[in-house]
Structure 1
Amino acid sequence: VTRINGVAVDIKAVDGYAILPSKEMSPQEIEREEAEEKEGTRRDFTRHWINYSEPEEVDDILKHLEVILPQIQPDVKPGKNIPSATQWARDHNLNISYDGGRYLQMCCPVHGDTKPSLSIYHDGYYCHGCGAAGGLFSLIKLFTDKSDDEIYAEFPGIKKQKKTITDNVIEIVRERVKLLRDHNNNSYFKLNDYSSVGINLLPIKSKITRYWIATTSEEVIDKLPSESVLSYVMNHYDGQCVATGEKTEIFRRVGGDRETIWYDLGNNNFVKITKDGLGVYPDTDITFIKETNQGIQEVPTSQSVKNIFKLFEIVNVKDPAQQTLLLTWIINAMLPWAQSPILLLCGARGSGKSFMGRIIKRLLDPVEGDKSELLVNKPKDINYLIGLLSHNAVAVLDNVSMIDRETSDVLCNVVTGGVIPTRELYTTNDQVLIDIRSKLIVTAINSQIFESGSGDLAERTVSIEISRPEDNYVSEEYLNEKFSEYRSVIFGAVLSLVKGYLRDGIPKAGDKSEFRLTTYASVGRYLTKALNLQSPFDKAYRLNQAGMSQTSLEAEPVTEFFIDFVRQYNGVDFQNSSGWGISTEALFNTYFNKWVAATNDIGLYDQKLPNNSAKLLSRLKRIEPDLRKIYGIRIETTGMHRGKKWIKIYATDMSLLNNEEEEEESEKKAQTSIGEEWG
């Protein structure tokens, strides 16, 4: 038994779990609660399942309960002949459903529920369904028709209480907000009037919310609440929101579904896009969060789709295939449900890649005053990166030199719109940032920015190669003026193309695609027809993906070993194994070590290489999809044989490997010829 927030809580161990509070439960009730917990639909937050054998989990749940359990504020002072709230409830024969000794459970008369959700404790009551709460005085008024004077007469020991500052602040906040929670159970205030802070949704446990509560309360009660009062009020509403807040999907800049898409212009107006038309409205039926740095978008002045090509008068993309992929990325970024590949803008210094990143950002998700402060080339750490991505509908990372494995895993989640699986809360300004839905632009000198083993991310990347405009430079100031002139008509073309895609481009249920990012591919095919593009999407994307796969393979030093191995031993039955292939032990000890010795002798590889057969096999599995795509090399696990793990490595089309070998020979001859000329 422990006491939290003045509420007695029983912790009862049952089959390795703890039930809070202690209660006899049937197997059916336990099964139902476990199912509700997995689905995220359980609302009874005074009961929580944990692994009781893990001490740190017990500590975590106690901290959790401090936040979500009701903090009962007594409204009477203890005195002679004044009963506790539980004793008064028993004495007056209330319809108690469960008597746990230290607390009672019953149906709530405030919202008329049928399942007991009102808990009565020593000092007062709290409803886990509607959030109604109060002390003994409030409880008596809730269940009787007695006036204040009648209650004072019945209990002479009760003295009239003045409202505390905490009571006043809670009431001030209640009158000005609506409680919302997203699908991760993050809690928000939706402000009725957000002119003082410029943001319509405030994460309840954040610094800006603390500021808003303090300044708003000071205007009403002419006194600044203390830090302890502010902390109490925030904890109170955070727990209430988790239990009773309206669950809703929260969007940044673009939201909606396949029927209706909304775009937040940033000026309290919204563009509504359907397959039948476009319109600007002062309100929307979905919920947007407005960031502090969010800028105002230009209202479109034209709906001609051909105006999209004015973009190429500003950004340095001349190749038709690259134009097709860029336009596809821009329209795909306007679809809330779509997985969006990372847009990698590659080019030497002076090619205009950073400027191009800023232009696309301004076109889709402008920031206050068109500043470029969101362009960062070296995120401080993963927490900072996640914070940046989670606060922007479109984020830009500028001049990236290398993406390591940890960052690669995070960015893969960005593409798929996934949730970072961690018990650690990533925060920026105290806001919980787990769900990531940002569209990401990365600029780099070349496409070889992926660390070994990042092939999954490379496959989810579209690379745009940008050449230096030798002898054709124009000032950035001129291009910015040009963009300002064209911005509204280009954006109008974007909206019109989104409308057309909703009408003619969405694939039918069950349609198959050769490409992993199916929506992105369907957008590209639609644009090919709608804009009569010079370069068809399928061909452009197929070549682009092959290039990214090649880049991923080049980042992995063991790639060359497997290519050489298949060239020499394709189809060989090692050790007369009757089709088992080769043991991973032999592959490493005999063939890989021999290859390492040979290549190191001529100074080809000084990178860190696998030092045992398990690590070599792990590397092989990482690059196998790209080996299969580019060279037709396949890997099959045949199982355990003679006490060892065996695999098959073979090529389905040796011509792909032979062509590669011929190209390598040609390169060597060319280098030799150049060397002779220089000699």
Structure 2
Amino acid sequence: MSEDDKTPARQVITEYAQAHFRYFRTADGTVYAQQKDAPIARPIRSQGTTGSHRQELMVGLFDAGHGAFSGTALKEALDMIEALAMREPVERVHIRVAPGFDGATWLDLGRNDGQSVRIHASGWDVTVPDPHEVRWRRTQLTGELPLPVKDTQGKGIDTLLSLCNFADAATESLVVAWLIGCLSPWAPVPAPFLTGPQGAGKSTAGRMLTRIIEGMAGDLRRAPKDEENLIAAVAAGWVTALDNLSYLTPDMSDAMCCIVTGAETVKRALYTDGDVSIARYRRPLLMTGIDVGVIRPDLAERLLPLRLERPRVRRTETELWTEYAEALPVVLGSLLDLTVKVRAAQAEIPTDLRMADFAHLCAQLDAATGLGSLAAYRASLDELNDDVIEGDLLAQTVLQHATGMEPGTEQRMTSTEWRDCLTHLYSGEDCRPLPKGWPTTGKVLSDRLKRLQPTLAARGVLIDWGRTKTARYIELTRAKPAEEAPRTPLF
């Protein structure tokens, strides 16, 4: 055969690829390859170390008798495939959890055969999803889950809770609610913060909760040093678990708020001048630590404190994890059984809480089981409000000022006047020095009060802003007793 009669290598690769794979693009312009009749999708530009599309293409060509091809031929073929895929409709890929047809949801078991769990109104089943319904995105953080066991009668949940050292039944009910929330692709869930004395098993409990969703490969990790690395880790998995936190910078606190409720980041694409890459994320987040110091109000509304106690009887790591590994299929099966039951329960949506979807889930869990998780959630938020106030001298001073007002009365002043008033109240007659971070201008005070507004409202102190014809003002109102939260005031 003459050289002119030979089919170019790039054409051989392109024809084979189009015969065996389906190519599509996502909203951010990334092109994915999906084996026909299989739900697993891989970005075609990912080099990767295991399981990249380039590798599966090379192996497929070799097994089909086409031999090995040079990197140049593969690059030219993938360039053409990528260009052709840009004509295809935009589709979505999902990591671990995905919405399906008819209101169903899917849980990726991380298996090579594509078997996944379909959760629907009448139960759940293990099957391979239609590739047009679900397209799973796999990364190195995607661990394999065991095949769940059916008809467990709730034994798995009991076993899981017996392996952890949670302080009380109320905390355990919040653990169950959070795990059910992790199986939802639609609604955000607050970030559990596992806390307790040294030796309470916080890291062990965090690993156990994470591995129910992420498989035995899922583990705790140290918090990244900057927001960019944190987002990269979050985008590659479903549950992000951060271990042994002792301090949160304001930037890291803001990033965690975005992770819990969802956001996107835009940055310059590598090796380009004008192109950008977009990362969208909303993920369940879990943290462990004894204390993280001062908690900012916006993060406090997104946290779920779970307290643990030191166990009276210690067990070896080998014994503990052997029992956990044996129980994991039953634990997952029990969680799926309970998820179906909870989703079918009818309950009113609490409209007074920031994380209304999770509050509704707690109400559904209570309707299905009577665990009292909604009351426990409200109590946990109340404790977090105390933590915010105890760590913020300005909040304490505002509440102290409000105690001198008659219930139902209001007071208006400019931001500068409020700053002078609160500064004088804090300094007192002995003129004690102002703490670091005390508002230096009226504008700084106004911004700080906006952050504290939900926390102060939970203690019956309402803050509002307005303006007259001549100036802007801040209005402080002490709510009447019937409007206050059912608790004892701090001041």
Query: TM-score with structure 1 length normalisation?
Result: 0.63
Q: Name the SS of the counterpart of 1:301 in structure 2.
A: coil
Q: Name the SS of the counterpart of 1:538 in structure 2.
A: helix
Could you report, residue by residue, the CA deviation over 1:3-45 in whole angstroms, capped at 9, with x for unpaired residues?
A: xxxxxxxxxxxxxxxxxxxxxxxxxxxxxxxxxxxxxxxxxxx
* 1:20-419 alignment runs, 5 A limit: 163-192=7-36, 200-208=40-48, 209=52, 211-212=54-55, 215-216=58-59, 219=62, 222=67, 224-226=69-71, 230-241=74-85, 243-257=86-100, 259-267=103-111, 268=113, 269-284=115-130, 285-307=133-155, 308-366=157-215, 370-371=216-217, 374-416=219-261, 418-419=262-263
* 1:435-454 alignment runs, 5 A limit: 435-446=280-291, 448=293, 450=295, 454=296
Q: Name the SS of the counterpart of 2:279 in structure 1.
A: coil
Could you report, residue by residue, the CA deviation over 1:622-671 in whole angstroms, capped at 9, with x for unpaired residues?
A: 11111011x211122231454x4222123114797995456xxxxxxxxx
Q: Name the SS of the counterpart of 1:180 in structure 2.
A: strand
- Aligned identity (percent) is 21
Change (3 A) 1:476 1:163: same
Q: Name the SS of the counterpart of 2:198 in structure 1.
A: coil
Structure 2 partner of 1:636:
464
Alpha-carbon shift at residue 174 of structure 1 (Å): 2.8
Answer whether contact 2:167 2:307 (CA < 8 A) is retained.
Answer: no
Alpha-carbon shift at residue 493 of structure 1 (Å): 0.8
Q: Name the SS of the counterpart of 1:559 in structure 2.
A: helix
Alpha-carbon shift at residue 222 of structure 1 (Å): 4.4
Structure 2 Cα separation of the partners of residues 200 and 587 of structure 1: 59
Structure 1 Cα separation of the partners of residues 256 and 14 of structure 2: 40
Task: State the one-letter code of the partner of 2:121.
Answer: K
Answer whether contact 1:580 1:638 (CA < 8 A) is retained.
Answer: no
Alpha-carbon shift at residue 482 of structure 1 (Å): 2.0
Answer whether contact 1:274 1:502 (CA < 8 A) is retained.
Answer: no
Q: Give the greater-gyration-radius structure (CA).
A: 1
Q: Name the SS of the counterpart of 1:207 in structure 2.
A: coil
Change (3 A) 1:283 1:434: same
Alpha-carbon shift at residue 483 of structure 1 (Å): 1.3
Answer whether contact 1:315 1:356 (CA < 8 A) is retained.
Answer: yes
Task: State the one-letter code of the partner of 1:610.
Answer: P
Structure 2 partner of 1:137:
none
Structure 2 partner of 1:582:
413
Answer whether contact 1:169 1:217 (CA < 8 A) is retained.
Answer: no
Answer whether contact 1:183 1:249 (CA < 8 A) is retained.
Answer: yes
Structure 2 Cα separation of the partners of residues 320 and 217 of structure 1: 54
Structure 2 partner of 1:513:
351
Answer whether contact 1:273 1:279 (CA < 8 A) is retained.
Answer: yes
Answer whether contact 1:386 1:433 (CA < 8 A) is retained.
Answer: no
Structure 2 partner of 1:649:
476
Could you report, residue by residue, the CA deviation over 1:590-633 in whole angstroms, capped at 9, with x for unpaired residues?
A: 32443565599657x6432322111111001111111011x211
Structure 1 Cα separation of the partners of residues 119 and 208 of structure 2: 23
Q: Does 1:491 align with 2:332?
A: yes
Change (3 A) 1:223 1:659: closer
Structure 1 Cα separation of the partners of residues 235 and 27 of structure 2: 15
Answer whether contact 2:407 2:479 (CA < 8 A) is retained.
Answer: no
Task: State the one-letter code of the partner of 2:231.
Answer: I
Could you report, residue by residue, the CA deviation over 1:145-175 in whole angstroms, capped at 9, with x for unpaired residues?
A: xxxxxxxxxxxxxx96865444444334333
Structure 2 partner of 1:594:
424
May I ask how many residue pairs the two structures share in their alignment? 472
Query: TM-score with structure 2 length normalisation?
Result: 0.84
Task: State the one-letter code of the partner of 1:456.
Answer: D
Could you report, residue by residue, the CA deviation over 1:57-81 in whole angstroms, capped at 9, with x for unpaired residues?
A: xxxxxxxxxxxxxxxxxxxxxxxxx
Task: State the one-letter code of the partner of 1:538.
Answer: L
Answer whether contact 1:346 1:447 (CA < 8 A) is retained.
Answer: no
Q: What's the C-alpha RMSD, in Å, of the aligned pairs?
A: 3.5
Alpha-carbon shift at residue 323 of structure 1 (Å): 1.0
The structure with higher relative contact order (CA 8 Å, sep 6+) is 2
Q: Name the SS of the counterpart of 1:420 in structure 2.
A: strand
Match 1:550 to one of 370, 380, 386: 386
Structure 2 Cα separation of the partners of residues 555 and 236 of structure 1: 58
Answer whether contact 2:412 2:475 (CA < 8 A) is retained.
Answer: yes
Answer whether contact 2:141 2:217 (CA < 8 A) is retained.
Answer: no
Larger mean Cα displacement after TM superposition, 457-466 or 594-603: 594-603
Answer whether contact 1:353 1:443 (CA < 8 A) is retained.
Answer: yes
Change (3 A) 1:449 1:237: farther
Structure 1 Cα separation of the partners of residues 402 and 217 of structure 2: 53
* 1:455-534 alignment runs, 5 A limit: 455-469=297-311, 471-505=312-346, 513-533=351-371
Task: State the one-letter code of the partner of 1:274.
Answer: H
Structure 2 Cα separation of the partners of residues 600 and 625 of structure 1: 32
Answer whether contact 2:11 2:77 (CA < 8 A) is retained.
Answer: no
Q: Name the SS of the counterpart of 2:318 in structure 1.
A: helix
Task: State the one-letter code of the partner of 2:461.
Answer: I
Structure 1 Cα separation of the partners of residues 363 and 60 of structure 2: 55
Structure 2 Cα separation of the partners of residues 640 and 246 of structure 1: 53
Alpha-carbon shift at residue 189 of structure 1 (Å): 1.4
Could you report, residue by residue, the CA deviation over 1:274-323 in whole angstroms, capped at 9, with x for unpaired residues?
A: 22222222344322122234332222234234312221110111411111
Alpha-carbon shift at residue 390 of structure 1 (Å): 1.4
Change (3 A) 1:235 1:386: farther
Change (3 A) 1:638 1:562: same
Answer whether contact 2:300 2:385 (CA < 8 A) is retained.
Answer: yes
Task: State the one-letter code of the partner of 2:463.
Answer: I
Match 1:538 to one of 374, 378, 383: 374
Answer whether contact 2:260 2:284 (CA < 8 A) is retained.
Answer: yes
Where do 5+ consecutive residues of structure 2 fail to align?
A: none
Change (3 A) 1:163 1:476: same
Structure 2 partner of 1:41:
none
Q: Name the SS of the counterpart of 2:475 in structure 1.
A: strand
Where do 5+ consecutive residues of structure 1 fail to align?
A: 1-158, 574-578, 663-679
Alpha-carbon shift at residue 456 of structure 1 (Å): 1.9
Change (3 A) 1:580 1:547: closer
